[in-house]
Amino acid sequence: MSYRGVITGVLLGLAIGGYAQNQTKSGFAFAEDQTRLILKNIDSAQKAGDKNSIPRSLKEDGSLKLIPSPDWCSGFFPGELWFLYDYTKNDQWLKEAKLYTTIVEKEKTNGGTHDLGFMLYCSVGNAYKATKDPHYKEVIIESAKTLITRFNPKVGCIKSWDGRPEWKYPVIIDNMMNLELLFEATKLTGDSTYYKVAVTHANTTLKNHFRANNSSYHVVDYDTETGKVAHRQTHQGYADESAWARGQAWGLYGYTMSYRETKNPAYLQQADKIAAFIFNNPSVTKDLIPYWDYNAPDIPNAPRDASAAAIAASALYELSTYSKNWKQYRALADKIVKNLHDHYQAQPGTNKGFILLHSTGHKPAKSEIDVPIIYADYYYLEALLRQQRLQKGLSPLL
């Protein structure tokens, strides 16, 4: 795999030894300072009358955008706090992580969303890893029970959005990320039901979501009577046949994780194919922080998406432990993390406490364009932790 000349001997050594250690140390020191700031801004917003409590992004006027627990992004800030605790072992972060995780826990019975993996595995899942508290275990199991109520055996997938008349049974590529909750539930209970649903969803998505060049559509809509594909589109991308950057990153991460949990070689092969699409793409940037869509018509002036880069970097660190292309993947991840660290972190004390700049949420809807977004920070910290663990000769997984 050439990756169009991205890999060089210099890049292969980027994260060796002291450099990566210093990068992780400075990255987490900065994250701690910024997170203290964001906590102060949350308090200020609530005193000013905002009833919500979880940071997501910035509003158009630059003020802090807070969300309630049913928002799909609600699990990322608690997860970020657990990452800070994992790295520092500071009881301050343990206290805050528990507090914000408690806010999200009640969504364990929310059957109106497919995003319970994002909401509860990123929060409660990390809480259980850190503490082994049986309470968190029960929340994970209850969340998985709720999530599988959205599974339709005829279609072979978990339904994504409700209440969208333009679709009968939409399934988005993002939904691959929620399968980790189900795999975990089977490990915690011994009940294979969750595992079987996750595998069926992954197999159906593998069959129907990807184009011949291994890029993915964002949405595949199914006929619930026949189980067949009704139509495909790219809702949050530039056009139906374009490659939305974050969607490609979700697929890369999702199939890497699915390979970990199943050892199905088809999933590893798909992860390799997605990586090849991303990094051989004619629109790949020198710093590997992608444009929001690989086919955006205004490249090179199109907005970047740091969140897509952070998700991909975290996935690549794990994928490097499975794939024959491990050297390339490690080098790519190292370069992404270095560039995020050096050029996409906010100035200290700014950004209302968010860590990274320049993410893009939903450009066609003119929503969250070139702003900080909480999931970019979450996957950036996860990537830093995974990089550090690999440097120590450990599994990248927490």
- Identify whether 150 is part of a domain: yes
- Identify whether 398 is part of a domain: no
- Identify whether 259 is part of a domain: yes
Q: What is the pLDDT of residue 19?
A: 67
Would you say residue 298 has pLDDT above 50?
yes
Q: What is the pLDDT of residue 18?
A: 61
Q: What is the pLDDT of residue 333?
A: 98
272: left (phi over 0), alpha (psi -120 to 50) or beta: alpha
Q: Name the maximum alpha-carbon separation found in the chain.
A: 58
Contact 267, 275 (CB under 8 A): no
- Provide mean pLDDT across the span 223-240: 97
Angle of helix 193-208 relative to helix 265-279, nearest 10 degrees?
40
Report in angstroms the alpha-carbon separations of 382 from 24, 31, 115. Answer: 11, 12, 19
What residues make up the domain containing 140?
A: 3-391
Angle of helix 265-279 relative to helix 326-339, nearest 10 degrees?
50
3-state secondary structure 37-63: HHHHHHHHHHHCCCCCCEEEEECCCCC
Which long-range contacts link 6-9 to residues 24+ away (Cβ below 8 Å)? 6/279, 6/284, 6/288, 6/332, 6/335, 7/327, 7/328, 7/331, 7/332
Distance CA 12, CA 20 (A): 12
Q: Angle at Cα 395 formed by Cα 394 and Cα 398, nearest 5°? A: 105
- Identify whether 59 is part of a domain: yes
Would you say residue 377 has pLDDT above 60?
yes
Question: What percent of the chain has a predicted confidence (pLDDT) above 70?
Answer: 95
Residue type, 329: Y
Number of neighbours of residue 307 by Cβ within 10 angstroms? 29
Distance CA 32, CA 370 (A): 23
Residue type, 74: S
Would you say residue 245 has pLDDT above 80?
yes
CATH number of 83's domain:
1.50.10.10
By residue count, the chain amounts to 398
Q: What is the pLDDT of residue 319?
A: 98
Would you say residue 120 has pLDDT above 70?
yes
Q: What is the pLDDT of residue 21?
A: 75
Would you say residue 2 has pLDDT above 60?
no
pLDDT tens for each residue of 25-81: 999 999 999 999 999 999 999 999 999 999 999 999 999 999 999 999 999 999 999
**Number of domains the chain contains:** 1
Assess whether 174 carries a catalytic annotation. Answer: yes
Residue of 174, 221, 293, 377 marked active site: 174
Distance CA 223, CA 245 (A): 27
Residue of 43, 61, 71, 115 marked active site: 115
- Identify whether 377 is part of a domain: yes
102: tokens are: 């408690």
- Identify whether 297 is part of a domain: yes
Alpha helices in the chain (DSSP H): 9-12, 18-47, 76-88, 91-105, 116, 126-131, 134-147, 179-189, 193-208, 245-262, 265-279, 306-319, 326-339, 374-391
Which long-range contacts link 133-141 to residues 24+ away (Cβ below 8 Å)? 136/101, 137/188, 139/105, 139/108, 140/181, 140/184, 140/185, 140/188, 141/185, 141/188, 141/189
Number of neighbours of residue 239 by Cβ within 10 angstroms? 14
Contact 69, 51 (CB under 8 A): no
pLDDT tens for each residue of 315-340: 999 999 999 999 999 999 999 999 99
- Identify whether 397 is part of a domain: no
pLDDT tens for each residue of 86-108: 999 999 999 999 999 999 999 99
Contact 323, 329 (CB under 8 A): yes
Would you say residue 357 has pLDDT above 60?
yes
pLDDT tens for each residue of 259-278: 999 999 999 999 999 999 99
Q: What is the pLDDT of residue 7?
A: 47
Q: What is the pLDDT of residue 14?
A: 46
pLDDT tens for each residue of 141-175: 999 999 999 999 999 999 999 999 999 999 999 99
Residue 289: HSE in the Cβ half-sphere, 13 Å Cα cutoff: 25
- Identify whether 374 is part of a domain: yes
Q: What is the pLDDT of residue 12?
A: 45
Would you say residue 8 has pLDDT above 50?
no
The pTM score is 0.96
